[in-house]
A = this chain, B = another copy of it.
């Protein structure tokens, strides 16, 4: 290893970017798999039996990644026909797939039923009728459905990604009785089989409290349903486990949250005189987020005197808001580090910006970087695996980066870098 050269999974980023160019997402496969295994083991240990862990593939989906997490015993959560098609292309068995979505089409539901998915998570009252109708058309019976419950609890990051308060599009309200009505409607639908209740409270959550509160709320509804003769075998507690983006931060520890949740579920079930249900969870970001790093090449370096007279070094890279929109979309924080050499000892206040024609095109709002950073240097931005490539655009007709897997045989692109020719192929003139 050369001094100052960042290594990932035993490979130097200078070697990798010679082969794969920049910008690239670099995925540490062993880290990805270890994170998947950690959720599986932590929840199984806390609950004293297997807990189904659905990988929320919206965070990042590719057939290779789905195969790796499935090999670790995870199932796959899909939210659209595209995600479902990718899971099926990866060879994930239908029974290990769950289908979410606030606005599933009849076609998506038919594909899911045809594939024999393990569950369809019902998100509205009219959807019960729709799923029942599609099931009848396909002469399918016993279609496993869950009900997504809006518990009124929300936690975590940006308002856009809080999902269980009332004024948002997801789920069936506990407060208004819609969730309870859904259970009756499902019980009255001959083709459908209720497998459980679902709760998702938000994203990038850093404590267990909200999860436990939501679990108690859902267990209360379960007790009510069971008193009315409707069996609810399973509770899904959703995802939203937070990760570290900045130095000094730490991921939410799966062992801690699993122990807290197991304690809360057991206590609530005891208080209700109910059995402990099957449990499932849906981590996405916490599995794939920290497992990827984006590597960019530095271009224009521009010292700017701001309105208050202070200095800021604008460091432009060969990507930007097209490959990471989280910074400006959620006011998200990232860090960046020089990756190809030892920088000078002096550091400066810097902002990492992209090459797009927009002043909001910011990758890292504020970071200390070596004062001698210069064009041609490599810059690494960690923790970009979730909602990076998956939210990427072709803004300014910039081709999207590839995703390079490290540690599963030789380094290779599992998602191919786009070219300008790819973009023009959609242009029919």
Q: List, in ascending order, chain B residues with CB within 8 A of A314's CB.
A: 168-169
Interface residues of A in 395-411 (CB under 8 A from B): 395-399
Partner of A356, one of B79, B124, B329, B355: B79
Interface residues of A in 57-85 (CB under 8 A from B): 58, 61-64, 79-83, 85
Once the chains bind, are A173 and B304 in contact (CB under 8 Å)? yes
**Cα A391 to Cα B322 with chains together (Å):** 8
Q: List, in ascending order, chain B residues with CB within 8 A of A391's CB.
A: 393, 395
**Cα A314 to Cα B168 with chains together (Å):** 8
Is A280 engaged at the interface, CB distance under 8 Å to the other chain? Answer: no
Partner of A304, one of B166, B302, B412: B166
Is A161 engaged at the interface, CB distance under 8 Å to the other chain? Answer: yes
Q: List, in ascending order, chain B residues with CB within 8 A of A105's CB.
A: 299, 318
Is A394 engaged at the interface, CB distance under 8 Å to the other chain? Answer: yes
Shortest Cβ distance from A57 into B: residue: B397
Shortest Cβ distance from A203 into B: residue: B358
Q: List, in ascending order, chain B residues with CB within 8 A of A416's CB.
A: 426-428
Size bracket of the A interface: 35 or more
Partner of A85, one of B123, B127, B420, B429: B420
Shortest Cβ distance from A58 into B: residue: B357
**Cα A328 to Cα B396 with chains together (Å):** 19
Q: List, in ascending order, chain B residues with CB within 8 A of A316's CB.
A: 102-103, 169
Is A189 engaged at the interface, CB distance under 8 Å to the other chain? Answer: no
State how many angstroms separate the Cβ of A361 from the closest Cβ of chain B. Answer: 7
Is A19 engaged at the interface, CB distance under 8 Å to the other chain? Answer: no
Once the chains bind, are A427 and B89 in contact (CB under 8 Å)? yes
Q: List, in ascending order, chain B residues with CB within 8 A of A375's CB.
A: 126
Is A131 engaged at the interface, CB distance under 8 Å to the other chain? Answer: no
State how many angstroms separate the Cβ of A164 from the closest Cβ of chain B. Answer: 9
Q: List, in ascending order, chain B residues with CB within 8 A of A429's CB.
A: 63-64, 414
Taking A126-B301, A166-B307 as contacts, is the C-beta distance between A102 and B428 under 8 angstroms?
A: no
**Cα A33 to Cα B383 with chains together (Å):** 45
Q: List, in ascending order, chain B residues with CB within 8 A of A299's CB.
A: 103-105
Once the chains bind, are B328 and A80 in contact (CB under 8 Å)? no
Once the chains bind, are A103 and B58 in contact (CB under 8 Å)? no
Chain A interface residues (CB < 8 Å from chain B):
56, 58, 61-64, 79-83, 85-86, 89, 100-105, 123-127, 158-163, 165-170, 173, 175-176, 299-302, 304-307, 312, 314, 316-318, 325, 328-329, 351, 353-361, 375, 390-399, 412-416, 418, 420, 423-424, 426-429
Q: What are 28 of the A-B contact pairs (CB < 8 Å)?
A: A58-B358, A64-B427, A64-B428, A79-B396, A80-B396, A86-B423, A102-B300, A102-B357, A103-B316, A104-B355, A123-B300, A158-B360, A159-B360, A165-B307, A166-B304, A167-B306, A169-B304, A169-B361, A325-B329, A325-B393, A329-B329, A390-B394, A391-B395, A392-B394, A413-B428, A414-B429, A416-B426, A416-B428
